Structure 1
Amino acid sequence: MPKIDADGCPINVEVTGPDNAPALMLSNSLGTNLHMWDDQVPAWSQHFRVVRYDRRGHGQSGSPPGPYSMERFGRDVLAILDALKIDKTHWCGLSMGGMVGQWLGAHARDRIGKLILSNTQYNYADKSGWIDRIKFVREKGLAQLVGPNMERWFTKGFREANPQAMARMTEMFLGSNPDGYIACCEAIRDMNFTASNPTITAPTLVIVGTHDPATPPVAGEQIAKAIPGAKLAAIDASHISNIEQPAVYTKTVLDFLRS
């Protein structure tokens, strides 16, 4: 479908499923595009109008100069919903997508139905890791980050057993715009949802990967404790849990949405 304008930035959007079904919006991790959800869409689109998009700086969306912020990403989402004439959507966001979901849950309550926050974080008290990563990408580019990135994203066993998936994810990662990637890193570095998460009213499921070094299970547990009534689910995977355990992930989300 045509790209949607979000304050001058073209956002690449793909919609699958019945027009009259409840909406379910999916939001990607840093350094990926909307195709990271390919394993889930066939099942989910039987029940929902599934909306996927490339975040600014990623995939086929624009990469205007930074700085970016979680509010900026949230307003991009609202622009997509408005363009598609969707009043309310369920939300499933992984990693950075879960960060955007936390902003939406607190600041756009009337637009969010159920909220799934997967393999994500709410605040980085120690910002040195992001400062170092930004410096690394500025000096050496994304290609030099592929190896360490895949080690964070997937367990050793999965990487060794699934070379095709690794090739696909490497291609996806290298398709990110370096300047857009850096601007996204800056937004992650600066986010802090400590005060706003307790104001979220949407029914919420927090998913953690038991082997996730990027957003460890304790981060998800803290998010679940902060959001009133939130449920917690653990999946035997590393960071990109929907690709490492596609069947389990698909069912976990679908059971929550249909409950």
Structure 2
Amino acid sequence: MGSVQLADGELNYQLEGPEGAPVLVLSNSLGTDLRMWDTQMPAFTEHFRVLRLDTRGHGKSLVTAGPYSIEQLGRDVLALLDALNIERAHFCGLSMGGLIGQWLGINAGERLLKLVVCNTAAKIGTADIWNPRIEMVLRDGPAAMVALRDASIARWFTADFAQAHPEQAQRITDMLAATDPAGYAANCGAVRDADLREQVSLISVPTLVIAGTEDAVTPPSGSRFIQEQVRGAEYAEFYAAHLSNVQAGAAFSDRVLAFLLAD
């Protein structure tokens, strides 16, 4: 674990894997932290120097006044790369992390080698969905985070997976309950306000889009839209709900590695 001092606080990160290998940045979903990628680490660190971070407002990273913006979160990633003297890197982000990846592809493509965006969309939800959640979290604090945790199992995992792997589901959803309410609400604002539908076609780096067949949060239609807009983008779909990296496990890891390691 390490931290980088930004202008307004510390950004927590973890850097693992062989020195000198290409860097792969992993960006977490809303309501999780860098540990959401634990399933992928054994496979990814065989080939890459893997840089995971707690997005602002999550885990051990800074919590500042919100709402945040996806641009702000994207610039946090660039500041982390600059601080670690990493000129270019692969980037893989899921859900909110996928929005950050799209922003980077649009605005800082020269810093990316390849881009993977998972269980995401160019626009996720509407204000009618996000505003009541923000209000509840700011009003009820930690109690709201526990309520969101209990409701998230059905959104993040299919019922059969949650029943077969309760320890996996609990490990991930407990991250949501532990998330700072102010940080969570501020990130909800970033997702609410992000609309990259008119810009996503500007991404020119090699891109892989991953979807979950049972994902009600970011359905495959939104992933297909990105794939159709980004020239040459590849597409993969797994039987999974919103957190396909956890539910699809090794199959997810293998597909990402096949894409990143291809000439």
Same fold (TM over 0.5): yes
- Whole-Å Cα distance in 1 between the matches of residues 22 and 165 of structure 2? 34
> Displacement, 1:120?
0.3
> Displacement, 1:227?
1.0
- 1:156-167 map, 5 Å: 156-167=159-170
Partners of 1:31 and 1:58 within 8 A in 2: yes
Q: Which residue of 1 aligns with 2:11?
A: 11
State the AA in 2 paired with 1:21.
Answer: A
- Whole-Å Cα distance in 1 between the matches of residues 195 and 137 of structure 2? 23
State the AA in 2 paired with 1:237.
Answer: A
Percent of aligned pairs with the same amino acid: 44
Partners of 1:9 and 1:56 within 8 A in 2: no
1:193 and 2:234 are equivalent in the alignment? no
> Displacement, 1:71?
0.6
Q: Which residue of 2 aligns with 1:219?
A: 222
5+ residue gaps in structure 1?
none
Equivalent residue of 2:79, what SS?
Answer: helix
Show CA shifts across 1:229-257 (max 9, x none).
Answer: 11110011110011111111000100000
- Whole-Å Cα distance in 2 between the matches of residues 125 and 153 of structure 1? 16
- Whole-Å Cα distance in 1 between the matches of residues 250 and 169 of structure 2? 18
- Whole-Å Cα distance in 2 between the matches of residues 60 and 16 of structure 1? 18
- Whole-Å Cα distance in 2 between the matches of residues 126 and 39 of structure 1? 31
> Displacement, 1:161?
1.1
- Pick from 173, 176, 187 the counterpart of residue 179 of structure 2: 176
- Whole-Å Cα distance in 2 between the matches of residues 53 and 116 of structure 1? 16
- Whole-Å Cα distance in 1 between the matches of residues 93 and 174 of structure 2? 21
Partners of 1:23 and 1:48 within 8 A in 2: yes
Partners of 1:25 and 1:89 within 8 A in 2: yes
- Whole-Å Cα distance in 2 between the matches of residues 112 and 189 of structure 1? 25
> Displacement, 1:215?
0.3
State the AA in 2 paired with 1:111.
Answer: R
Q: Which ranges of 4 or more aligned residues in structure 1 deviate by more than 4 Å?
A: none
> Displacement, 1:138?
2.3
> Displacement, 1:65?
1.0
Q: Which residue of 2 aligns with 1:91?
A: 91
- Whole-Å Cα distance in 1 between the matches of residues 196 and 132 of structure 2? 22
> Displacement, 1:124?
4.2
> Displacement, 1:139?
2.9
Q: Which residue of 1 aligns with 2:36?
A: 36
- Whole-Å Cα distance in 2 between the matches of residues 172 and 158 of structure 1? 18
- Whole-Å Cα distance in 1 between the matches of residues 241 and 86 of structure 2? 33
- Whole-Å Cα distance in 2 between the matches of residues 53 and 226 of structure 1? 28
- Whole-Å Cα distance in 1 between the matches of residues 258 and 240 of structure 2? 19
- Whole-Å Cα distance in 2 between the matches of residues 183 and 17 of structure 1? 32
State the AA in 1 paired with 2:78.
Answer: L
Equivalent residue of 2:210, what SS?
Answer: strand
Show CA shifts across 1:60-91 (max 9, x none).
Answer: 11101112101100110001101111000001
- Whole-Å Cα distance in 2 between the matches of residues 170 and 197 of structure 1? 30
5+ residue gaps in structure 2?
none
Partners of 2:65 and 2:182 within 8 A in 1: yes
- 1:49-198 map, 5 Å: 49-124=49-124, 126-140=126-140, 141-198=144-201
Instruction: Return the TM-score normalized by structure 1.
Output: 0.97
Partners of 1:24 and 1:50 within 8 A in 2: yes
Partners of 2:18 and 2:45 within 8 A in 1: yes
Partners of 1:154 and 1:238 within 8 A in 2: yes
1:204 and 2:207 are equivalent in the alignment? yes
State the AA in 1 paired with 2:165.
Answer: N
- Whole-Å Cα distance in 1 between the matches of residues 138 and 8 of structure 2? 25
State the AA in 1 paired with 2:168.
Answer: A
Instruction: Return the TM-score normalized by structure 2.
Output: 0.96
State the AA in 1 paired with 2:193.
Answer: D
Show CA shifts across 1:89-121 (max 9, x none).
Answer: 001001110000000001001101100000001
- 1:230-249 map, 5 Å: 230-249=233-252
Partners of 2:149 and 2:174 within 8 A in 1: no
Show CA shifts across 1:203-225 (max 9, x none).
Answer: 00000000000100001001111
